[in-house]
Amino acid sequence: MAENTAIADTICRTIDLGVTITGAALDGQDRTHLYCELRAPDDRCPGCGAAGRLRDHVHREIADLPIVGHPTRLHLQVPRYRCESTACDQSIFRADIDDIVAPRTQVTRRTTAWMLRRMIVDKMSVTAVAAAVGLGWDTVNTIALSAARNLAAAPERLDRVRILGVDEHKWKHVRGQGDPSFVTVLVDLTPVVDGTGPARLLDMVAGRSKAALKNWLDARDQAFRDRIRVVTMDGFSGYRTATAESLDHARAVMDPFHVVHLAAEKLTRCRQRVQTDTCGHRGRSGDPLYGIRRTLLTRTRLLTDKQKTRLKTGLDAHDEHVAVAITYAI
Ligand SMILES: [Zn+2]
């Protein structure tokens, strides 16, 4: 039995939550119910720190990540203790499950993060996310908005941000016929540039306008604004103006994907022009520049030694290739 529990905890990742599955059931509403208890409940009294005596358990039903496409409910038995210290004001207390579920919510923290990612990164609609976790539209919308606000309320997330990404996102209000509302999504790209990790979602604000970004930037402290070196955006001019007005020393740049795409296009055009000038015809096999057309677009650190040699030979083959060499270097 213990072995089966370990397998279930591994598959359902309840092991990550610090709970262990004691039972499971399906209901007629497409949901999977997992009955769980805490693996190592904290029995220390929040008043005095002494270990309490187990009194009873409180049942909590919490929505968790969907399992194989079906909404999941955790039924957690939370131990309740009595503090036996006479000097302590605290009489009864529950084991702390704050790491699993935020106070006054009915959804595990990891589910909240999952829902936000689905909406922001995967552009999934609130309706689709609500169906996946088996919650109402309003509940999911409220949780997502409040999670986004909580991001802003954790000021340490803003430390060390040097590269700020600004992107517009359509918050898909599928319900009703109201206008789709846009939000401005703020992302920390510093870890990506430093090669230390993925981008981090920093905040979301209503609207897609110069004011949306400017108000956000102006609400941050001076130290934060001073640290920002680069703001990447998709080219929306309102964001560029806001950056210029609120961060006079930061550079507004187009996001790397657009930049790489444009730069590659310029390099290819330069190569084609020089090729026609020097060979008198469009590139064909055997032409030195045509032979390196793909190598030119490959990142330097991904090139093999053989490719590097071929690249150098191709660029050195004719004096007029210097234009391609310079464009490539840029
Ligand atoms: Zn106590």
Distance between Cα 97 and ligand 1 center (Å): 18
Alpha-carbon distance 22 to 20, whole Å? Answer: 6
Evaluate whether 263 touches 270 at the Cβ level (below 8 Å): no
What percent of the chain shows pLDDT beyond 70?
93
Q: To which residue do tokens 């409040």 refer?
A: 146
Residue 19 to residue 36: CA distance in whole angstroms: 6
The residue from 254, 281, 309 where one domain ends is: 254
Average pLDDT of span 114-138? 87
> Which stretches within the chain are classed as H helix?
2-11, 14-17, 109-120, 126-133, 137-153, 190-194, 210-219, 222-227, 237-246, 256-279, 288-291, 305-316, 322-329
Q: Token pair 């009864």 is at which residue? A: 92
Question: pLDDT per residue over 305-314, tens digit each?
Answer: 888 888 888 8
Instruction: Tell me how far the alpha carbon of residue 76 lies from the centroid of ligand 1, in angstroms.
Output: 24
* Domain boundary, last residue among 78, 100, 122: 100
Rounded distance between C-alpha atoms, residue 199 and residue 125, angstroms: 22
Check pLDDT > 70 for residue 290: yes
Instruction: Report the first-to-last Cα separation within the chain, whole angstroms.
Output: 63
- Same-domain status, 141 and 65: no
Query: Do 67 and 132 reside in the same domain of the chain?
Result: no
User: What was the pLDDT predicted at 174?
Assistant: 43
Mean pLDDT of all residues belonging to the chain: 86
pTM across the whole model: 0.60
Same domain flag for 215 and 181: yes
The mean per-residue pLDDT over the stretch 135-143 comes to: 90
Q: 203 near 152, Cβ under 8 Å?
A: yes
Ligand 1 centroid to residue 81 C-alpha, Å: 10
- Answer yes or no: is pLDDT of 1 > 60: no
Higher pLDDT, 282 or 69: 69
Q: Which residue has the higher pLDDT, 91 or 147?
A: 91
Say whether pLDDT at 116 is over 90: no
Same domain for 294 and 216: no
- pLDDT, tens digit, for every residue of 177-195? 444 577 788 888 898 888 8
Q: Are 37 and 76 in contact (CB under 8 A)?
A: yes
Q: Which of 279, 212, 204 is closest to 243 using CA atoms? A: 212
- Per residue in 7-17, pLDDT tens? 888 888 998 89
Q: Is the pLDDT of residue 171 over 80?
A: no
Residues 198 and 274 in one domain: no
Token readout for 201 is: 């979602």
Residues 40 and 60 in one domain: yes
| Mean pLDDT, residues 209-219 taken together | 91
- Across 275-285, average pLDDT: 83
Give the CATH number, domain containing residue 219: 3.30.420.10
Report the sign of the C-alpha dihedral through residues 263, 264, 265, 271, in that order. Answer: positive
Largest CA distance in the chain: 97
Which is more confident, 288 or 77?
Answer: 77
Kindly give the distance from the C-alpha atom of residue 35 to the centroid of ligand 1, in angstroms, as a whole number. Answer: 29
**In terms of residue numbers, what domain contains 146?**
102-153
**Per-residue model confidence (pLDDT) at position 167:** 83
Query: Same structural domain for residues 59 and 86?
Result: yes
- What is the CA(134)–ligand 1 centre distance, in A? 39
Expressed in angstroms and rounded, the spacing between residue 74 Cα and the centre of ligand 1 is 29
**What's the gap in Å between 94 CA and the centre of ligand 1?**
12
| CA 84 to centroid of ligand 1, rounded, Å | 7
Residue 128 is predicted with a pLDDT of: 93
| Tokens coding 7 | 């397998």
What pLDDT digit, counting tens, does each position of 10-52 carry?
Answer: 888 998 899 999 999 999 889 999 999 999 999 999 999 999 9
Q: How far apart are CA 269 and CA 285, in angstroms?
A: 18
From ligand 1's centre to the CA of 95, what distance in Å?
13
Does the pLDDT of residue 235 top 70, yes or no? no
Q: Within this chain, do residues 15 and 90 fall inside the same structural domain, yes or no?
A: yes
Cα 120 to Cα 170: distance, rounded to the nearest angstrom = 9
Kindly report which listed range (32-36, 129-133, 172-176, 204-208) carries the lowest average pLDDT score: 172-176
Specify the number of domains making up the chain. 4
Are residues 66 and 55 located together in one domain of the fold? yes
Q: Mind giving me the DSSP string for 45-98? A: -TTT-PBPEEEEEEEEEEEEEEETTEEEEEEEEEEEEE---TT-S--EEEPP-T
The tens digit of pLDDT for each residue in 142-156 reads 888 788 777 766 767
Pair 125, 44 in one domain = no
Residues 283 and 302 in one domain: yes
The confidence score (pLDDT) of residue 153 equals 64
Predicted local distance difference test score (pLDDT) of residue 33 = 97
Ion ligand 1 contact residues with beta carbon within 5 A: 45, 47-48, 83, 85, 88, 90
Asked which of 254, 274, 299 is the last residue of a domain, the reply is 254
Same domain, 266 and 312: yes
CA distance 90 to 54: 14
d(CA 3, CA 322): 68
pLDDT at 265 over 50: yes
More confident residue, 328 or 41: 41
